[in-house]
Structure 1
Amino acid sequence: ALGFVGLLAGALDAGGPVAVAVLRTLAGAAFLGAVTDAMLLGHWYLVQPGLARSPLLELVRWVALVWPVEVAALLLPTGMISVFTGSVDDGYNGVLGWFWVASALATIVLCVVTRAALRERYYSAVMAATGLLYLAILTAFGTDLVARAVLAG
């Protein structure tokens, strides 16, 4: 509960429309939290190979479920769409906007590929899934932080 209060306080301090700020903060926390937890759990599977894969699959599912909420929240006005229309200057002639799109798309693709990897029965599938989740955490940070940096400037 205290963490939630902290997120709300941060959202209220972010400026802009309150509802959009709260949505972006809560969606971002859930999104980055789910992908981070999935990657960390994947690493735990590397040292405990006999564990059931269902918890890892559940976390990957949560990343995929929160992803559209995160992307939609970052598109809301004044959002990343404003970078493409030119009303918000990213300082790099729109390159950061396209980097954001690439990060967002790569994250969901990595979730799909991770689920496919975990369908394999072999231990190497868990190693592959963990590597894919490591990449997903990088692209998820790109999805969230690039948008926040561009929109804050």
Structure 2
Amino acid sequence: MSGAGAITAVVLLEWTVGWVAVSAWAQSWAIVRRGNFRINAWGALLFGVLSFLALRSAADGIPNSTAHRVLDVALIVLVVLLVAHLVVQWSRTDVPGAVLGYAAGAAGVVALGATGALVEGWPGALAGLELVGGTLLLGGVTNGMLLGHWYLNQPGLKTWALARITVLTLIASVAAGVLGLVAAGRLINARTEGALGLPGSSDSFGWAFFIIWIALVIFTAVIVWAAKRCVDIRSIQSATGLYYVAILTAGVAEFLVRYLMLNAT
């Protein structure tokens, strides 16, 4: 897989899986009202459908293989589970939503593993781990931002709910950075000729893009740490504002590192 379409497809899949998996974890606590999870379920389903269409298109030119077939099945199962996950948000308890959310997350991890196996020039296990690391980061910042807003709709909601997601996001940012460093040799040597779209930009800028990515991940971790400090002093609105920055930097970082990953030699 290569090209802008493939990069977008991979990031959409990561975002979908992270969104629904972290949301399912939060729903299993049974303290946040259902409206928050209905919003999450709608968003994850939208991203899931987009990732399904984008990945099917991006993988069209790839020779048929076991990984390709697994990806096709996993994507179908993921979308079906996302639909079911949305429907059960109107059930009497949080249990069905949490269970189906976890199931969708599991199907998504299988899809991520199959996607990693289709990345040319990468060991399947390493590529899969890279994608899972990014998935947790995107899922953490997305759920953190949305849950932070939900405190306005649910006065009295315990601050430890947002604190848990913030700690997970901080761990995910560190994990994503470590995994990127492990694969630094491949990412730095990515083919980026003409990436700037300017005359004379025929040189490879893999090393420069990698440094920018590292800076974005570190900055995201710092912002999330600051959000954790805000949660500790019960300043939820401040933490939510910081999550706006974190979701932007994490999203840009993920698009950038997937660009390097899919163009690595």
CA distance, structure 2, for counterparts of residue 80 and residue 108 of structure 1? 23
Deviation at 1:151, TM superposition (A): 2.8
Give aligned-pair identity as a percent. 30
* Per-residue Cα deviation, 1:1-21 (whole angstroms, up to 9, x for no partner): 322222222222223111211
Contact 1:75 1:81 survives alignment (8 Å): no
Contact 1:46 1:126 survives alignment (8 Å): no
Q: How many residues align?
A: 146
Contact 2:177 2:214 survives alignment (8 Å): no
2:20 corresponds to: none
Find 1:99's aligned residue among 212, 224, 236: 212
* Larger CA Rg, structure 1 vs 2: 2
CA distance, structure 2, for counterparts of residue 142 and residue 73 of structure 1? 17
Structure 1: state its 5+ residue gaps: none
Find 1:8's aligned residue among 110, 113, 118: 113
CA distance, structure 2, for counterparts of residue 96 and residue 46 of structure 1? 39
Find 1:130's aligned residue among 233, 240, 246: 240
Question: Relative to 1, partners in 2 of residues 1:116 and 1:80: Cα closer, same or farther, differing over 3 Å?
Answer: farther
Q: Cα RMSD between the aligned structures?
A: 2.1
Question: Relative to 1, partners in 2 of residues 1:107 and 1:80: Cα closer, same or farther, differing over 3 Å?
Answer: farther
Deviation at 1:48, TM superposition (A): 2.0
Contact 1:43 1:130 survives alignment (8 Å): yes
Superposition misfits of 4+ residues, deviation over 6 angstroms: none
CA distance, structure 2, for counterparts of residue 36 and residue 149 of structure 1? 21
Find 2:126's aligned residue among 16, 20, 26: 20
Question: Relative to 1, partners in 2 of residues 1:61 and 1:25: Cα closer, same or farther, differing over 3 Å?
Answer: same
Deviation at 1:106, TM superposition (A): 1.0
The TM-score normalised by the length of structure 1 is 0.83
CA distance, structure 1, for counterparts of residue 228 and residue 109 of structure 2? 30
Contact 1:80 1:151 survives alignment (8 Å): no
CA distance, structure 2, for counterparts of residue 50 and residue 22 of structure 1? 40
CA distance, structure 1, for counterparts of residue 255 and residue 238 of structure 2? 26
Deviation at 1:42, TM superposition (A): 0.9
Contact 1:24 1:73 survives alignment (8 Å): yes
CA distance, structure 2, for counterparts of residue 34 and residue 25 of structure 1? 14
Deviation at 1:82, TM superposition (A): 4.8
CA distance, structure 2, for counterparts of residue 11 and residue 53 of structure 1? 37
* Equivalent residue runs for 1:1-153 within 5 Å: 1-15=106-120, 16-77=122-183, 79=184, 82-83=187-188, 87-90=189-192, 91=195, 93=205, 94-121=207-234, 125-153=235-263
Structure 2: state its 5+ residue gaps: 1-105, 197-204
The TM-score normalised by the length of structure 2 is 0.50
Higher RCO structure (Cα 8 Å, ≥6 apart)? 1
CA distance, structure 1, for counterparts of residue 145 and residue 258 of structure 2? 23
Question: Relative to 1, partners in 2 of residues 1:46 and 1:14: Cα closer, same or farther, differing over 3 Å?
Answer: farther
CA distance, structure 2, for counterparts of residue 2 and residue 151 of structure 1? 22
Contact 2:170 2:221 survives alignment (8 Å): yes
Contact 1:80 1:147 survives alignment (8 Å): no
